[in-house]
Amino acid sequence: MKAITRAIRPEQLREITLAALIVVVVLFFSSQIQGYFSGRTFNRVTASVAIIAVVAVGQTLVVLTRNIDLSVGSIVGFSAYFVGTQLANDNTLSPAFAIALAIGLGALMGAINGALVAYGRVPAIIVTLGTLAIYRTILVDMSGAKTVVVDALPQWLKDLPRTNLIQIGELDIRLMFGLAVFVVVAFQLVLVYLRFGRRLYAIGSNPEAARNAGLPTQRIVFSAFVLCGALAGLAGFMFLARFGTITVVAGQGMELQSVAAVVVGGVNIFGGSGSMIGAFLGATLIDLLEQSLIRWLRVSEFWRDALLGLLILLAVASDAVILNRLRRIWAQDGVSVQGKPVE
């Protein structure tokens, strides 16, 4: 038993379980849906996962600090619509400028959230619930009931969703999916190797102790919200590239999807533990279930939301019961859950 506890931490066990569940789901639906094992299914799932995975990475940064950002859906929608409008008005704008504009807009909105939470000491759920409505209202007012249509967008943006990094048989590894994987891996490395990442864990584990230890908790929480907003802005650009036609309801419901991906992926909703890999696996499992259920039972959008809610409840309950027991077993064997000291 000690050998197992030294080799695998409780958080890694959740990731292994998620990976196994994804395999089980694929095997089950392949026996129920004709032509399920196909490049088309793979491409559909990866295209959808890419966007929510980027949002989930930002949400993970915030949740690790014992906070939550419910405004990410509105930030995605606002960024997608605003950047789409600029590109429709001027097709000569460069891809780099469009991406930077989306990220900058998201970062600005995230900074507003972060300032109110970190320095204004207003609970994150209150702040982001308010800004969720405010950002969406600004978008509705700014749009004037107009829609960004795909025909008005530059050709390079229309081609982006179909751009491949590599092709393996029928499987196309799209550029946007590659970008999402890069974001996940980069921020996983931040959590593991950089001081900023370890401080996120410290603040989420015990905010009072982190303050007493002299950590700049307000600045770190503020930075987490800024990064969350910036990644939501990037996801907004990806949303625009994938769908082309953008209305004022773009990104609506993505806050629930991102929270579901995070908690299903093993990130503790009370902060202090979790990983980007887990959040990515959570996003993959959720999107795989959604896409498969639509084809199998033709489940309505309302029941898909109910499924997300059920997955969140099950994930939080399992984290509170099963993982807490596992952490006690690991602690009895003298294995550190977090692994590295905070600097």
Per-residue pLDDT at 271: 84
Contacts of 154 (CB under 8 A, 6+ apart): 87, 91, 92, 93
Name 172's bridge partners: 167
Domain that holds residue 265: 2-332
Burial grade of 112 (CB within 10 A; 0-12, 13-18, 19 or more): middle
In a domain, 338, yes or no: no
Is 195 within a domain? yes
The pLDDT value recorded for residue 323 is 62
Quick one: pLDDT at residue 316? 66
CA neighbor of 58 nearest in space, from 310, 252, 255, 239 = 255
pLDDT in tens, 226-278: 999 999 999 999 999 999 889 999 999 899 889 989 988 888 888 888 899 99
Coil vs helix vs strand at 171? strand
At 308 the pLDDT is: 66
- Is position 76 within any domain? yes
| Residue 291 included in any domain | yes
Q: Does residue 266 lie within any of the structural domains? A: yes
Residue 340 resides in a domain = no
Residue 202 lies in a domain: yes
Q: Domains in the chain: how many in total?
A: 1
CATH number, domain with residue 238: 1.10.3470
pLDDT of residue 340: 45
C-alpha–C-alpha distance, residues 26 and 39, integer Å? 13
**DSSP for residue 169:** T
Positive or negative torsion for Cα 176, 54, 235, 97: negative
- Helices assigned H by DSSP within 34-174: 39-63, 72-89, 95-114, 124-143, 155-159
Residue entry with tokens 């230890």: 213
In terms of Cβ atoms closer than 10 Å to its own Cβ (0-12, 13-18, 19+), residue 30 is middle
Chain segment 280-312, per-residue pLDDT in tens: 999 998 888 888 877 776 666 677 667 767 776
In the chain, which stretches have pLDDT less than 50?
A: 335-341
In a domain, 341, yes or no: no
∠44-14-24 over CA atoms, to 5°?
A: 45
User: Given this model, what pLDDT does residue 41 score?
Assistant: 83
